[in-house]
Amino acid sequence: MTKSKINGLAQSIIESESKQLKKVAKQVDKDIVKAANLIAKHDGKIVVCGLGKSGLIAQKIVATLCSTGTKSVFMHASDALHGDLGIYNPGDPTILISKSGNTEELVRLIPILRDFDSPLIGIVSNTDSSIAKNVDIVLNATIDKEVDPLEIVPTASALAAMAIGDALASVLMVKRGFQHKDFAKYHPGGELGKQLGLTVKDLMHPIKEVAVFKKDSSLSDVAKLMTKKPLGAALILAKNKTLLGIVTEGDIRKAIASNKKPNDSIDNLINNDPVVVSSEMVISDAMKMMEDRQSQISVLPVIENKKCVGLLRLHDLYQTKLL
């Protein structure tokens, strides 16, 4: 192949796959919801079955389902006929994946799976196939053509089947109310799981590290405290440790810019009703509180049992690599 034919080919392939996915998205949306409803009613596991490249796609779908709270196992189509059917409990739904919809090993499985009372879902690219005609729900992965130069390699068809699996897992996540804390539960060893499992208490600066001032303090007094304990803010607390107010570095800079004198009272700079965060809040939710607003917050007082126990900085959240 000449250089001129290669230039732009990769971009063309990816753009063509994107067009095929848009087509599949329109034809499969309602049926994915039906499949999710069927699966959600079952307390047991899902079995996902395929052969060859469809088998590899099935394994990926199983991994995605498991990581998002849907118990799933992969069953190789050939091994199923030689003892692996022992994994079934009555009523376990099965997802059969086949581009042609006529994969012999899968077709042979259908009447056997009926004996296990297994509801059947097919991800196929041929709605006139044996599998499509004999399953309970068809997820139509039909594409116009493969996107490789010879139009024979499972490219767009493989991507479509995988995307349907992702969409199904996502719908199930919403139906089950799957949250960040659930993801962390299933990923305790991964870096992302560790981050999602963190709470504000894990990253906050305890109150002993925070500048704390009295209401009659001067601008100079507070500036010195914040220099000694440079966390970007100073707090005013009652005797019982409840929060009375906050002054930030930004407040100090504005006061200096407006020609306030060092001995002037800090009283009119105090925010007596600041936004606060619970010590038990998941870090990702705390980050949203600080960022998803018209004016971003860089520090938050941390409250536990109505008492102020520390300060959380947006800078510290960035360092956890959640972004």
Q: Where are the domains of the chain?
A: 3-178, 200-318
Q: Are the beta carbons of 53 and 154 closer than 8 angstroms? A: yes
> Would the pLDDT of 25 be above 50?
yes
249 closest CA partner among 287, 228, 223: 223
The 10 Å CB-count burial string (b at 16+, else e) for 121-147 is bbbbbbeebbbbebbebbbbbbbeebb
Do the Cβ atoms of 313 and 207 come closer than 8 Å?
Answer: no
Q: Please determine, for residue 63, whether its predicted confidence score (pLDDT) is greater than 90.
A: yes
Alpha carbons 184 and 108: distance in angstroms, whole number = 39
At residue 223, does pLDDT exceed 80?
yes
Look-up: residue for tokens 């991964």? 190
The CA R_g of the chain, rounded to the nearest whole Å, is: 29
Q: Are strands 94-98 and 72-76 parallel, antiparallel or unpaired?
A: unpaired
How far is the CA of 90 from the CAs of 41, 44, 46, 118, 172, in angstroms?
Answer: 14, 9, 11, 7, 21
CATH number for the segment(s) 200-318: 3.10.580.10
CATH 2.40.110.10 fits 3-178, yes or no: no
Mean pLDDT over each residue of the chain, to the nearest integer: 89
Residue 192 has pLDDT above 60, yes or no: no
Task: Please write the tens of the pLDDT for every residue from 72-126.
Answer: 999 998 888 788 888 999 899 999 999 999 999 999 999 999 999 999 999 999 9
Q: What band does 4 get if pLDDT is binned at 50, 70 and 90?
A: low
Where is pLDDT greater, at 302 or 263?
A: 302
Q: For strands 299-304 and 307-313, give the pairing.
A: antiparallel
pLDDT at 207: 94
Instruction: Name the one residue in this structure whose structure tokens are 């960022």.
Output: 291
Residue 242 per-residue DSSP state: -
Distance of CA 245 to the CA centre of its chain: 35
Calculate mean pLDDT across residues 258-265.
85
Amino acid found at 299: V
Work out the burial of residue 53: count CB atoms within 10 Å of its CB; fewer than 13 is exposed, 13-18 middle, 19 or more buried: middle
